[in-house]
Structure 1
Amino acid sequence: MVLGRIHSIESFGTVDGPGIRFVVFMQGCPLRCLYCHNPDTWEKKRDGSEKNRDTSHFREPGDLLAEVLRYKNFIAKGGVTVTGGEPLLQPAFLKEFFRLCRENGIHTALDTSGYICSAKALEVLEYVDLVLLDIKTIDAELHPRLTGVGGENTLHFLDELERRQIPVWIRHVVVPGLTDDDASLEALARYISRYKMVQKAELLPYHTMGAYKYEAQGMEYPLKGVEPLSAERLANAKAIFKKYGL
């Protein structure tokens, strides 16, 4: 039996893909992004043990689909988006869930960092209609500082999506002092503009709305003191991307 660990569910999502969407947040993530607003999704095991895990968040693909189908009329022009955490940590569950969605005529979107590029993870793409690919930066030195891991896999994942002709929306968080300088924005826009399957780029302004979650878990917020991105800097970033048709 394939089970997936689910962090939470949003039945009427409007910002994670086209139309109104049923959004599934998966538990577990190998990245530790400095600006993450969902640190509560990081750990796959709450206490580090298999025996004492809280199984209340485990779901079977068919069980989760049954809940999705309750909202099928509302998401008819949207679909299902699976995000996280990092969904591809649980590829067997994800593949089966997306397969069931596809059988029921439901549009599927995967929100991922692309960090996990294993054969099992790539099998999931057989049943994915759209990928929301989070590119943190293409600067090889900055990526580990931002996320705790290298960024090579994300770019390999983008190559794989291009090869398979799977539509992609690029997501990029613009953080003051880290990723909001014109040179970095220009480099990223130029890089992704050469991919035919990239349909759009979503520039997400850095905010501090998730800071309270760190305090709730007894953690120090990594970017304490960094102000949210200004409207002017966001407009500047958008202007740079528009130059490249994005």
Structure 2
Amino acid sequence: MEKGLIFDIRHFSIHDGPGIRTTVFLKGCPLRCVWCHNPESQKHEPEKVQRTTKLDGKEYNSSETIGSYMTAEEVFDQVKTHIPIFDESGGGVTFSGGEPLMQPKFLLNTLKLCRANDIHTAVDTCGFALHEVFNLILPYTNLFLFDLKLISPQKHESYTGQPNHVIFKNLFLLELNNAPTIIRIPLIPGITDDQTNLEAIKSILKPLRCVKRVDLLPYHHMAKDKYRRMNLPYELENLKPYTANQLGEIKSLFNDIDIPVTIGG
């Protein structure tokens, strides 16, 4: 039986699709974005990390394994108890990561279980996956949360470790299938937020009928402790979060498209 490598399941999420949701985080990602806020999601294998707890002036060290293998049925057992909440709020289940499409058989099996029980499904993806995998899950996915980071092929490869032509190919596949899609744009100061990049993203989105909303996701420092626990360098240590005025100016660049735009999703 196909098992998935899961590193977290969070209930009562309100930022990963409509309504109140359960978000299932799958471990493993083909990208290595320098701003990644889930570094524990990158490797497709369980990992041990050290935790340090301070209490009464003393430090206590412990180890934790991130990632465990679960069947689709085991994941669904955790999901199904929340069906009344999904029904009441218009919510459902979101598969995130990492990159959930790196585990296509497990993802497909779990999506099918949700669909069989009338649960709304969303897949949060970086778009870097085989065309065939998107075709495989399309019939069982109600909503795609699709990242667009950098339009320049050179910059995309420099900052994520992978080219972006596959991502565009898959976005146009969603358009051909009229698959409801929310575009997510991570705003990283000095990397993704320049006007040239945002105007290029906007020009791609303008003609797309499948795009129902654009979410601008501002950079934050909340992943810093994760990098420390995993003994990984945090390259963006000195970046400052955006001010409200800066975010308002960035959002205004999208005023001329007929698609709702939000800050933070």
Distance (whole Å) between structure 1 residues aligned to residue 133 and residue 201 of structure 2 = 28
Cα deviation for residue 44 of structure 1 reads 0.8
The equivalent residue for 1:219 is 232
% same residue: 37
The equivalent residue for 1:116 is 129
TM-score, reference length from structure 2: 0.87
Q: Counterpart of 2:213 in 1: which secondary structure?
A: strand
Q: Tell me, yes or no, if the aligned pair for 1:134 and 1:170 is still in contact at 8 Å.
A: yes
Distance (whole Å) between structure 1 residues aligned to residue 241 and residue 137 of structure 2 = 35
1:65 corresponds, among 73, 76, 80, to 76
Cα deviation for residue 184 of structure 1 reads 1.7
5+ residue gaps, structure 2, are 48-64, 260-265
- Alignment RMSD (CA, Å): 1.5
TM-score, reference length from structure 1: 0.93
Distance (whole Å) between structure 2 residues aligned to residue 162 and residue 236 of structure 1 = 29
The equivalent residue for 1:51 is none
Distance (whole Å) between structure 2 residues aligned to residue 145 and residue 65 of structure 1 = 38
Cα deviation for residue 55 of structure 1 reads 10
Cα deviation for residue 229 of structure 1 reads 2.2
**Could you list the runs of 4 or more consecutive aligned residues of structure 1 that deviate by over 4 angstroms after TM superposition?**
none
Q: Counterpart of 1:75 in 2: which secondary structure?
A: helix
2:190 corresponds, among 158, 171, 177, to 177
Q: Which one has the bigger strand percentage?
A: 2
Q: Tell me, yes or no, if the aligned pair for 1:92 and 1:120 is still in contact at 8 Å.
A: no
Q: Counterpart of 1:4 in 2: which secondary structure?
A: strand
Distance (whole Å) between structure 1 residues aligned to residue 70 and residue 42 of structure 2 = 18
Cα deviation for residue 192 of structure 1 reads 1.0
- In the alignment, is residue 106 of structure 1 matched against residue 100 of structure 2? no
Q: How many aligned residue pairs are there?
A: 240
The equivalent residue for 2:31 is 31
Larger radius of gyration: 2
Distance (whole Å) between structure 2 residues aligned to residue 133 and residue 120 of structure 1 = 15
Q: Counterpart of 1:74 in 2: which secondary structure?
A: helix
The equivalent residue for 1:203 is 216
Cα deviation for residue 230 of structure 1 reads 2.4
Distance (whole Å) between structure 1 residues aligned to residue 235 and residue 164 of structure 2 = 20
The equivalent residue for 2:203 is 190
Shift of the 78–103 alpha-carbon distance from structure 1 to 2, 3 Å rule, reads same
Shift of the 80–151 alpha-carbon distance from structure 1 to 2, 3 Å rule, reads same
Q: Tell me, yes or no, if the aligned pair for 1:174 and 1:229 is still in contact at 8 Å.
A: no
5+ residue gaps, structure 1, are 48-53
Shift of the 18–136 alpha-carbon distance from structure 1 to 2, 3 Å rule, reads same
Q: Tell me, yes or no, if the aligned pair for 2:8 and 2:67 is still in contact at 8 Å.
A: no
Cα distance per residue 1:191-229 (max 9 Å; x no partner): 112111000100001111101111111111021211112
